[in-house]
Every structure is written in C-alpha cells, then in structure tokens.
Amino acid sequence: MTRFITRTVGILAAGFIGLAIAANAAAQQADKLKVRMDWTPWGVQAAMHLAQHKGWFSAAGLDVALEDGNGSVTTVQIVGGGDQFDLGHAALASMMIARDKGLPVKAVAVFARLSDIGLLVPKEAGIKGPKDLKGRKVAYTAGSLEAPFIDAFLASGGVKRGDLELINVDAAGKASTYAAGRADAAFSTIPFFLPVVSQTRPSDAIRFADYNLNMPSFGLFATEAKLAAKREPIARFTSVVAASWQYIYNGHEGEAVDAIVAQRPQAKLDKAILRAQIDALKGFFQLPAPEGQLLGAPVAADFAVAVKTLTDVGLIKSIKDGNDFFVPGMVRAAAGVPK
C-alpha cells in the first residue's frame, strides 16, 4: 500500500512538473511586444484592452505589454527614436510629420480613417460652421496638432483670426475652460473631448474633415527596424486589434468598456464616458471597410489626401507619395477573435 501511494505521488508529481515545463515553454515561445499608447486610458484604446482581457493576444502567440502615454506626439518621438517599444498607438498625422522630418516610422494599421480634430460648440448656440465664429471667444492649444489647421478652417468660412478671439489654453485645462463657459467654442480632438464636456455643457462637433482638412487619425505604427526584426509578431498584433474593433462594433461595446476598467482598475474611469467615446469614435472609422479590405487595413487614398492636407499647412515638406507612410499587408484575418 505504501509502495502504491509512493508511486502514485511520484506519477502525480511528475505530471505537475511536466505541465509546469510545458507552460513555461509555451510562455517562452510567445513573442513579446511592448506597445506605447497615445494617452491615459480612454475609448480609443478599447480594442487593445479587450484583446488583452479576453486572452486574444495570448491565443495568437503574443505576450503583450500595453503602456499608457501622454500624447501622440510624445508617443511618436519615443517609439520612433528608441528601441524600448515595438509599436506605438497614436494620431497618425503626427507619425507622418515625424517621418517627413526623418524619423523612420510607418503606419501598420489605421482604425479612425477620418481626422478626429474639430470644433466643439454648445448645442443651440447657432454655430454651424467657421463663419459663425465671428465675435466669439474660442479656446485652442498652441502646441497641439489642431493649431496649424485653424487658419485654413476659418478661411473656408471667409473668417480671419482677427474676426474672433482665440485664447491659448493648456491641453489639460481646455475641457474645464470650455465646460465652465469661459469660451464659446473649443478646438480639440472630438471623440475624446465631446463626451467629457457634454456631461456639463451639452455640445455638438464640427469636423475638420468636412472642410477638406482630412488625414488618418488613430492607428498603429512601428519603426522600420522593428518591422524588419518582428514583422510577423507585429502583423499578428495588428490583426488581433483590428478584429477586436470589428467585434466591438458588432454590438459588444459594453464588453469593451468593462475590459478597459478591468485592465486599468486604479484609473477610476467613468464607464458612461468610455462608452460615449467608443460610440463617438465609430463615425470616424468609416464603416464598413472598403470592399475587399479588413477594418484597420491602411487605405492608400486616405494617405494621398493626408499628404495634401499636411503639405498645404506646411507640416510636410519632403515626402509627396502617400504610399511611403504605411506598410500594406499587416492586417489579416484573426482566427482567434469571435465576430
């Protein structure tokens, strides 16, 4: 009896050791990717947090670390100028500007195809376009991506800077300035800003994209060196994120909200705002995707338009071919993500 028990314990122990070795081997085989986000947690990051929460990255053989950011421009500079991160998630106009200046970065996926920048105005204020800003006080942030486009936006309505009062506000304080009524309107990123300020000051948005100022917005990018070294893992990552977005907009927005909160429990996030941000973003995705393409696959025509937009305001000076800013074929069908 003692010999039987001893043998059984030995077999069980060997089994547990075997499982541990197998698990460790599987973990070692997973491709590690470190991703720098555009900002602190908000709705635009939903697909990545959901994929992490559901285990879709792991199922694709990836060991993913998602790190919060503090602005698209900073993310582009950090990812493009060093070896610490494998990918970045940011407003891709910032990436295009950086590449034109010599930073070796390229887009691998585009989720929000329309520019997210625009003008926030109070409901019932009578502001329908740039011509209605005459005599108004409008907040903006001088160092942000919106600033170079303001003159072109105003000109489309026959308005000049001298026709209104532009007040330069720090990005961190712009929402509170506008929400408190200290400005009649505000230039900012629409899907982030609109749900936040509408809680206290119900507002509408006027998109720059509707005034011939369009360019791809949020997406993923990587350096040429990382693409050379980790092309397949990066393709798997972009494909899972793209499929995750499709899953979200197939009626699973609530799951995405819960995943963000679960992945960032210390952030004290407001679920109502997160849901409103995800809903607001949908219009910028231009769904469904073009025929024959997956959601997230870069569209060449979008980058051609972006080159003109950025060139016209002096932000791009050298690269004139939109195809030079993205890598095709990095978004593929992801079998492990449900529809």
Residue 22, token pair as written in the block: 């197998």
pLDDT at 231: 98
Each domain of the chain, given as residue ranges in start order, spans 31-111+216-325, 117-211
**Measured on CA atoms in the order 152, 284, 116, 227, is the torsion positive or negative?**
negative
Say which CATH class 31-111+216-325 falls into. Answer: alpha beta
Domains 31-111+216-325 and 117-211 share a fold: yes
- Residue among 255, 268, 239, 264 nearest 333 (CA): 239
Name residues whose C-beta falls within 8 Å of residue 148's C-beta, 6 or more positions apart in sequence. 313, 314, 315
Whole-structure pTM value: 0.89
Residue 153, token pair as written in the block: 């936006």
Cα atoms found within 13 Å of the Cα of residue 50, Cβ hemisphere only: 26
- Which backbone phi and psi does 277 adopt, to 5 degrees? -65, -45
Quick one: angle between helices 92-100 and 72-81, nearest 10? Answer: 50
C-alpha–C-alpha distance, residues 208 and 206, integer Å? 7
* Residue-level pLDDT, tens digit, the chain, 339 residues: 444 444 444 433 444 333 343 334 344 589 999 999 999 999 999 999 999 999 999 999 999 999 999 989 999 999 999 999 999 999 999 999 999 999 999 999 999 999 999 999 999 899 999 999 999 999 999 988 899 999 999 999 999 999 999 999 998 889 999 999 999 999 999 999 999 999 999 999 999 999 999 999 999 999 999 999 999 999 999 999 999 999 999 999 999 999 999 999 999 999 999 999 999 999 999 999 999 899 999 999 999 999 999 999 999 999 999 999 999 999 999 988 998
- In this structure, are residues 223 and 102 in contact, taking their beta carbons and an 8 Å threshold? no
CA distances from 282 to 114, 123, 132, 175 (A): 10, 21, 27, 22
Pairing of strands 218-223, 31-36: unpaired
Q: Of the CATH numbers 1.10.10.10, 3.50.50.60, 3.60.21.10, 3.40.190.10, which one belongs to the domain with range 117-211?
A: 3.40.190.10
Name residues whose C-beta falls within 8 Å of residue 290's C-beta, 6 or more positions apart in sequence. 299
Residue 19, token pair as written in the block: 């499982």
Pairing of strands 165-168, 137-140: parallel
C-alpha–C-alpha distance, residues 282 and 287, integer Å? 8
DSSP code per residue over 16-32: HHHHHHHHHHHHHHSEE
